[in-house]
Amino acid sequence: MTMKRTSIEARRWLFPGALAAVLVAGALWYGLAGTAQTNAEISASMPPSSAAPAKSPTPASEHSAKAVPEEPSSGQEQSRTPDSLGPTPFAASLSGTQIDGALTADDNGELVINLRVRDFFDYFLSTVGEVTPETAIQQIETMARNHLPEPASTQALALLDEYLAYKQASLQVLQTRLDPARTEDPGYQLTALGDALAQLKELRASTFSPDAHRAFFGLEEAYSEYTLATLAIQQRTDLSEQGKQALVQWHRNQLPEELRTTEKHLHASSRQQQARTAAIESASSPEAAGRQLEELGVGPDGVESVVKYLKQRKRFDQRFDAFRDAMEREESSGLTEADIQEQQEALLEQHFPDEQDRTWARLKMLGNG
């Protein structure tokens, strides 16, 4: 049985990789929880030799490729690339997986341009590092030549040239350095994110045909703009919490339908998780936390595991307090640094026989300063 290698289509646009990359490149974390680089951005680090030639690539639009909805009807499909590379793929990491996306030709032999084309490219390009860029690109070319008619195969390879050129050029945006003196300024952070998104959109518009730009990046850009809008709203000091929530909801309603539905589910899940976290933090005891979680709809197994963990943490905290008291009672004056360290290790082993608990104790000591 084969499986999908990634969950690109399910979650890609909910975590805009371009924005996260800007944060990482500038040594800045803005609190976009769960944001991560996508394979598309990671594989952009391939050397220049893998990119398109220095001359401007031929726009896919000049080859009359057609942009269509994400799932074209069966009447449009004449041929397409297979779902799997078989039992011996060119890269070991692809073993047992289905190919993300596909290259498809319509009844007229034209390439169908949709997000599945980008997924297809990313599936192969994600192996760069495990194989050479040339190998990954050659695999895409072979698939296009062997499974698509003309002009679809030529259109696919022209679009691949554009995509590689874009990925190479986007490095300049993703590696933009931020001003270290202003990285704590929320307004500066938001401006930097907005500038990065604008530069990426401009680069995409100058690299791809309008149809390819929309098909490859439309959902990503819509969600990135929604994210920026919600961050800006949260920074407003002239709005009440109710006002902020109303504006965020308005922006959520402007999302494309497929994103709007998923975002609503995530928002509801986030609010539920916040309520459960608040219940744990406000509870007077592990048992009280368990009862509140039950009222919030957590199942018996979940409640039991949380209560068990909270009891373990409570016992750990008690042992840590006893350990700190013992440390304070020990006379350290006149001892060398090595002697003090040896004394501390002896007390750690006495109060925390378990090695993992000793590790947590050391971390807590660092945190307590």
**What's the pLDDT at 61?**
38
Q: What is the mean pLDDT of residues 277-302?
A: 86
- pLDDT-derived band at 218, boundaries 50, 70, 90: very high
Element (H, E) at 204: helix 186-207
Q: What is the pLDDT of residues 152-185, one digit of tens each?
A: 999 999 999 999 999 999 988 877 777 888 878 8
Q: Distances from the Cα of 132 to the Cαs of 93, 127, 137, 164, 165, in angstroms?
A: 14, 8, 9, 14, 17
Residue 52 has pLDDT above 90, yes or no: no
> Domain residue spans in the chain?
3-227, 236-280, 283-368
**Banded model confidence at residue 133, pLDDT cuts 50, 70, 90:** very high
Backbone angles phi, psi at 10, to 5 degrees: -80, -40
Pairing of strands 112-113, 66-67: parallel
Inform me whether the pLDDT recorded for 73 exceeds 50.
no
Q: Report the range out of 118-122, 295-299, 322-326 with the highest average pLDDT.
A: 118-122
179: left (phi over 0), alpha (psi -120 to 50) or beta: beta
Q: Cα angle at 99 between 95 and 101, to 5 degrees?
A: 165
Label residue 56 by pLDDT band (50, 70, 90): very low
Mean pLDDT, residues 248-258 taken together: 85
In whole angstroms, what is the distance from residue 351 CA to residue 353 CA? 6
pLDDT in tens, 91-128: 999 999 999 999 999 999 999 999 999 999 999 999 99
| Most confident of the ranges 73-77, 168-172, 203-207, 325-329 | 203-207
Mean pLDDT of 175-196: 83
> Per-residue pLDDT for 57 more than 80?
no
Task: Please tell me the predicted confidence (pLDDT) of residue 66.
Answer: 54
| Residue 254 pLDDT greater than 50, yes or no | yes
